[in-house]
Structures are given as structure tokens and as C-alpha cells.
Amino acid sequence: MPSIDVPVRNGGFGQTSRRDNWWLAPLLTFIGLGAFVLYANVRVFQGDHYHFGPYLSPFYSPEIVGPSPHAWFQVAARPAWWPGFLPFSAALLVMWAPVGFRMTCYYYRGAYYKAFWADPPNCSVGEPRKSYWGERSWPLVIQNIHRYFLYFALIFIGILAHDAWKAYWFADGFHVNVGSLVMTLNPILLGGYTLGCHSFRHLIGGGMDEISKSPSRAAAYDCVTCLNKKHMVWAWCSLVWVAFSDVYLVLCSTGVWQDRRIF
Amino acid sequence: MANATFRIWRGDKSGGGYKDYPIETSEGMVVLDAVHQIQASQANDLAVRWNCKAGKCGSCSAEVNGFPKLMCMTRLNTLDLTQPVTVQPMQTFPVIRDLVTDVSWNYEVKKTIQKMKTRKPDASDGTWRVNQRDVDRPQEFRKCIECFLCQNVCHVLREHQMFSEFVGPRFFVYAAALEMNPVDAADRVADLKDKHGIGLCNITKCCTHVCPEEIKITDNAIIPLKERVVDEFFDPVRKLFKMFKG
């Protein structure tokens, strides 16, 4: 590869001739993602107030082993095989999949490299470090695992859709409560985010040079592309709604809010 | 329209600095018009590269108020004229003089991308049958005017100056246009990973933001190429599946 000699003119971190509020977008990302990570950690390790009536918090779904009636394998207390140093939480058994999916997502990668690592802080703005490895070597080469997390994320949409269906079935039969709608919006937004994933777009047909030879894959590729165009919007809406669904359950189960019945 | 001051970088590879030029602006003016007015009336020796004045030749790339732009496509009514408008050469490439930079590195890099290798013709007359749908995708990349604003803004080149390891967004677009061409049979994936440094891109999307042709560089070229690299080098299950499938 040819090389050229360019005198280094960029003085350092934050140096730029830009006049706009270039710091605002990374700051909002930092606040938004930081707040979500903090809240999720608190809720995951809390291990309480994660179900209310037919609703189950998306942080804890699917509840593989746990004390709630939603659990696949119901246990009254902490299982004997659970590591002693770790507080028991059913969420820890499942959270790795959605966390891994979002952490390796192409949109989030670009966003958190800017917001949390200032690499770069924003376009044509000076960086704090001179060394750079990118995603070519360890540890960030692991980002290439994204499609494997996608497979799990697709399964999770099915599970959360099942949770949404169950959210309409109360002890006295079928009803629609505000909580039912909250739980329904969750798999819809997550579906919009997951099905618009760049890896999914590639696997569904983007990897083919002659997609016209497979009309069904071509149609699927068009749908995924349509969602992919607003991937960032889907990513944020689904993230906020996961947190809100959990907040709704906490407030209902602690009696602060009432889960109003629509019919 | 009100008067405006243009703060233009003057100098050459040995150094330089900003100089202020007050001008009278008029409706519909773009930054290149202002630079031409300054060149005609106040600084006859001001060096600026330009050609079409229509956003199609990619010659007048520069940084206006610190943001990479084509001067001919930046209207003055989109800028705050109450403050001096800063115009400087692209920061990533060596300065020749004033607003003119040496972008010849890009032409050398282009030579390292494997050329098109056509597959066996579909018809006996040596021609191919290609569906329009399959052409549409690489067609987007053909809009590139080689203004090199994407190369200029990419932090791998701009900040880290990894010129010998990374080809930059322009050439991922070029490689994608060839790689996705239904008639092409060459395989550039190993080169993209090892020689052209696609793994160095950390998807900041700055290239997409500055592209005057509005090519979705990151979403439609770089990420699909990264996924092809994953297919080939980082997905053992797919490899196994392909092995059994033959």
C-alpha cells in the first residue's frame, strides 16, 4: 500500500474548527446509554418486582429458573448450583443475549465509540489518543460475533411476543389493560430493531450479487432494508420501551401506579 | 445581503496562517463564488482547485467552518455570516498551496484494488444477461465523484494517518461496486481484510455525513463488505455448512 507524509496538524482532544454543537450528539448518547446501563444493572441484580399479574419484565424474560409463576422451572429459593459470589437473579441467565446483541450492533458500536471512547468524539474533531487498532485486532475483533447474537435476538422476539399475548389473559379471562398495551409494544419495537439489523440484511439476501434470482429473498431484503434505514430510531425506541415496560411493572407491583383496565 | 468576512488559510507545505477578506455578498452565492470574488479583487495569487461549479467534478473540496464540504455546493445562506467564515484546505492530505491539496495518494491506492474479472458470458455472442434489480445496488456507488471528502473526514486517515494500512471509505465504495457487480467473478474479500484494512473502520458514519452525492457509504458499502469478511473469516458455522453443501 502506498504511503504519504502529512504533517500532523491536529493538536489534541476536542480540537476542531467546527462551530456547531458537535459535542451534543455524543453527550446525549453518553447520558442515554449510561442511564440505561445503570438502571438495567440495578434491576437485574435486584431480583424483585419483575412480574405483576400476567406481565413479566423484559429484563427477566424468559424466566428459565425462578420463583415467579412465569418461570419455566419454578424454584422457591436460590438454586444450589448458583455460584456463591453472585446474587441470584433469573435475569442473569438471559440478559447476556440482548446485551450482546446491542453491544455488537453496528449502530451502537459507532455511537458508543464516539460517546464513551471519543474515538473520535465526533467527525473532524481531535481525539485524546494517538494509537488506534480499530476492530481489526483483539479485543474489538470480537464484534464480528454479531450475527450469532442476532440468532438469539430473533428467538427473543418470539418469546417476548408470547409474553405480550399472555399480557391479555387475566384471572377472570381476556381483558385489555394499559399494561397489556405496554407489553405488546415491546416486541413490536424490538422486532423493528432486530429485523432491521445490518447482519440480518446481509444474511437474508445482501450477500447475494444476483438476488433477483430468488424473488422471496429479494422481497425479504427490501423489507429489511426499509427497517434498516431507520435502524438508529428503532434502536433507541426499543431500548427506551424495554426500560419503560420494566418501570411500569415496578410501579404497578409496588402499588404506585394502578394498571387501568380499558375493557 | 450583508457584508461577510472570509477567513481563508494561506500558505504552503512549509506553513501558513489565516487571512481575513471582507466581501460584499449577494443572493444565491456559494462559498466558491466568494473565494472567486476574493481571488479577483483582493488576492490574485489565492490558489483554489475548481472546475464544474455544479457539485459533479469533486474538485473544490475544502473545510468550511471546520466541516468537509464542496465549496460550490455550500450556499452562504446556510452559514452564520455574522462571524468570519473559515475556509481551510482538507486536513488529511498534504497542502500544495492555499486551498489546494495533493490527493494523488488516492490514485495510487485505487491501483491496489483488484480490477473487474468478468464471469463466463451468458450468451453465445459473449454478452451477459443481467437483471436491472441486481444493477441498482452497485449503481449507487457509481455516483461517487471522487471529491475525497470521505477520505478527509475519516479519522483513521485524518487523525491516525494509517495511509499504508487503510484504503479509506472511497475505496470501500469502489470495491463494493465491483464486488456486488453480478458480472464480476473476482474475490476481493481477503484483500479487504488483510491489505485494505476494513477492520480498522469503526463505523462512525462520518463518511456518509459528508458525502455530497448522498451515497450511504457505511450502510450500503462498508458494512456489507464487513459482513462478507465475516462470512469468509469469522463464521465457522457458515463455513462448515458451505463445506458440506459443497
Residue A10: per-residue pLDDT: 54
Residue A9: per-residue pLDDT: 57
Q: Please, are residues B99 and B72 in contact by the beta-carbon 8 Å criterion?
A: no
Has residue B72 got a pLDDT over 80?
A: yes
How many CB atoms within 10 Å of residue A241? Answer: 20
Residue A261: per-residue pLDDT: 94
Q: Is A17 inside any structural domain? A: no
Residue A80: per-residue pLDDT: 86
Inter-chain residue contact B203 with A8, CB threshold 8 Å: no
Q: Is A11 inside any structural domain? A: no
Which residue in chain A is spatially nearest to B153 when comparing CA positions?
A124
* Contact list, B148 vs chain A (CB under 8 Å): none
Q: Which of B8, B156, B204 to mutate to test the interface with A (most CBs of A within 10 A)?
A: B204
E strand or H helix at A165, and its extent? helix A146-166
Which residue in chain B is spatially nearest to A206 when comparing CA positions?
B224
* Contacting residues for A190 by C-beta, under 8 A, at least 6 apart: A153, A156, A157, A160, A238, A241, A242
- Determine the Cα–Cα distance for residues A106 and A77; give it in Å rounded to an integer: 40
**CB contacts < 8 A (A, B):** 160
Residue range B11-65, pLDDT digits in tens: 999 999 999 999 999 999 999 999 999 999 999 999 999 999 999 999 999 999 9
The residue behind cell 453491544 is: A103
Q: Is A19 inside any structural domain? A: no
Domain that holds residue A103: 24-253
Among A215, A200, A198, which residue's Cα sits nearest to residue B134?
Answer: A215
Inter-chain residue contact A210 with B131, CB threshold 8 Å: yes
Q: Is A97 inside any structural domain? A: yes
Which residue in chain A is spatially nearest to B90 when comparing CA positions?
A124
Distance from CA of A114 to the nearest CA of B (A): 7
- Determine the Cα–Cα distance for residues A183 and A249; give it in Å rounded to an integer: 10
Classify residue B115 as exposed, middle or buried by CB count within 10 Å of its CB (0-12, 13-18, 19+): exposed
Domains of chain B: 2-101 (3.10.20.30), 104-238 (1.10.1060.10)
Residue B237: per-residue pLDDT: 87
Q: How far is CA A82 from CA A89, A93, A189, in A?
A: 10, 11, 33
Distance from CA of B192 to the nearest CA of A (A): 11
Residue B42: per-residue pLDDT: 95
Which residue in chain B is spatially nearest to A105 when comparing CA positions?
B203
- Degrees, nearest 5: CA angle A57-A63-A67: 95
Residue B244: per-residue pLDDT: 83
**Percentage of residues of chain A with pLDDT beyond 70:** 97
- Determine the Cα–Cα distance for residues B243 and B240; give it in Å rounded to an integer: 5
The DSSP 8-state label assigned to residue A242 in this structure reads: H
Mean pLDDT of residues grouped by 10 in chain A (263 residues)?
65 89 97 98 92 96 92 87 88 95 98 96 94 93 96 97 97 96 98 98 96 96 98 98 97 95 93
Q: Please, are residues A23 and A122 in contact by the beta-carbon 8 Å criterion?
A: yes
Three cell numbers written together for A21 = 454543537
Pairing of strands A51-52, A55-56: antiparallel
Distance from CA of A124 to the nearest CA of B (A): 6
Inter-chain residue contact B155 with A127, CB threshold 8 Å: yes
Helix, strand, or coil here: B87?
A: strand
Start-to-end Cα distance in chain A: 68
* Contact list, B89 vs chain A (CB under 8 Å): none
- Determine the Cα–Cα distance for residues B237 and B157; give it in Å rounded to an integer: 34
The DSSP 8-state label assigned to residue A14 in this structure reads: T
Q: How many domains does chain A divide into?
A: 1
Residue A84: per-residue pLDDT: 86
Q: Is A10 inside any structural domain? A: no
Please tell me the least confidently modeled range out of A7-11, A28-32, B91-95, B131-135. Answer: A7-11
Q: Is A111 inside any structural domain? A: yes
- Determine the Cα–Cα distance for residues B151 and B106; give it in Å rounded to an integer: 9
Q: Is A194 inside any structural domain? A: yes
- Determine the Cα–Cα distance for residues A147 and B51; give it in Å rounded to an integer: 45
Confidence of residue B239 (pLDDT cuts 50, 70, 90): confident
pTM (predicted TM-score): 0.94
Nearest CB partner across the interface for B66, out of A19, A110, A141: A19
Which residue in chain B is spatially nearest to A111 when comparing CA positions?
B204
3-class SS string, A83-141: CCCCCCCHHHHCCHHHHHHHHCCHHHHHHHHHHHHCCCCCCCCCCCCCCCCCCCCCCHH
Q: How far is CA A195 from the centre of its chain?
A: 13
- Considering only the C-alpha atoms of chain A, give the largest distance between any 2 of them, rounded to a whole number of Å: 76
Q: Is A128 inside any structural domain? A: yes
Residue A75: per-residue pLDDT: 87
Residue range A64-85, pLDDT digits in tens: 999 899 999 988 878 888 888 8
Q: Which of A10, A22, A23, A124 to mutate to test the interface with B (most CBs of B within 10 A)?
A: A124
Residue B2: per-residue pLDDT: 54
Confidence of residue B238 (pLDDT cuts 50, 70, 90): confident
